[in-house]
Structure formats: structure tokens, C-alpha cells
Amino acid sequence: MPTFYFALVGTNDSPLYEAEFGAQREENKYLQQFVVHAALDLVDDAQFMTNTCYLKAVDRYNDWTVSAYVTPSNARLMLLHEAKAEDAIKSFFTACHELYLKTLLNPFYQPNAAIQSQTFDAKVHTLAKKYLL
């Protein structure tokens, strides 16, 4: 089963939401976070090279690939994955972006605050099962 690590990073480079899908090993948890965080600089460079939100693969580390999606408000959706399914990843990012927008419309949510909603978490996991797993 493939491994996926998803992070939603706010405009101030702080993680707003993190999730893991598929087969996970405890020793890779911090390594996955490090690889995704290290790819943020590459996302900052790549976002000015294109006018699309989906940046495709921005970095590679061993067998893992980091794909990114930048929202118009400069929030970054990052996915660390082993599999190569670009259409499915793009669809996953688009659906997660829509879910993030719905969260931003909540009057009780402060922008750039960690998303701790169990409903948000459940919907992201449902999207991962639909598009990635």
C-alpha cells in the first residue's frame, strides 16, 4: 500500500493541518515532515514560474515525490507520495482546496490558525480514499 503525507501550510509557513494516509511507519513520521517543509522553498520559487495553482512535482527525496498546490491566498497544499497518479493528485488538491475555502468561510475560524475540526479531518480522509488510495 502506498504512503501519503498531506500538509496544509499557511501563509506564514506554519502547518495548519497534517494527515497521513496508507501504510505508515513511525520512524518516517518526522522525516516526512522535514521533506515537505524543505520543499516549501522550492514551492515559493515555482509558484512564480506558472500561472496555475497546481505545481505538480516540486521535489524528490529517495522514492518520495512532493507535489504542491498554491491557493490564490498563498496557502500551500503539499502531498508527499510514492505513487505517480497526477490526475488523481490534482483532483485531490482541488477538492481539499474547496474544503479549505469552506473552513475559511466559518466565522469562528481565525485565518492561519491550526484546523482542529474533526469534520474537516474526516472529509480529508474521505477525499484521500476517493482519489489516492
pLDDT band at 83 (very low <50, low <70, confident <90, very high): confident
Indicate if the pLDDT at residue 24 is higher than 80: no
- Using DSSP bridges, classify how beta strands 3-9 and 54-61 pair: parallel, antiparallel or unpaired: unpaired
Q: What is the pLDDT of residue 133?
A: 87
Pair 68, 39: CB distance under 8 Å: yes
Query: Which three cell numbers, joined as nine digits, stand for 50?
Result: 506558472
Q: What is the pLDDT of residue 23?
A: 78
pLDDT of residue 84: 80
User: What is the enclosing helix (H) or strand (E) of 40?
Assistant: helix 40-46
- Mean per-residue pLDDT, 17-26: 85
Residue 124 contacts residue 98 (beta carbons within 8 Å): no
Q: Are 59 and 40 in contact (CB under 8 A)?
A: no
pLDDT grade, residue 1 (50/70/90)?
A: low
Assign 28 a pLDDT band (cuts: 50, 70, 90).
confident
Average pLDDT on 80-101 reads 93
pTM of this structure? 0.92
Q: Across the strands, what pairs with 17?
A: 8
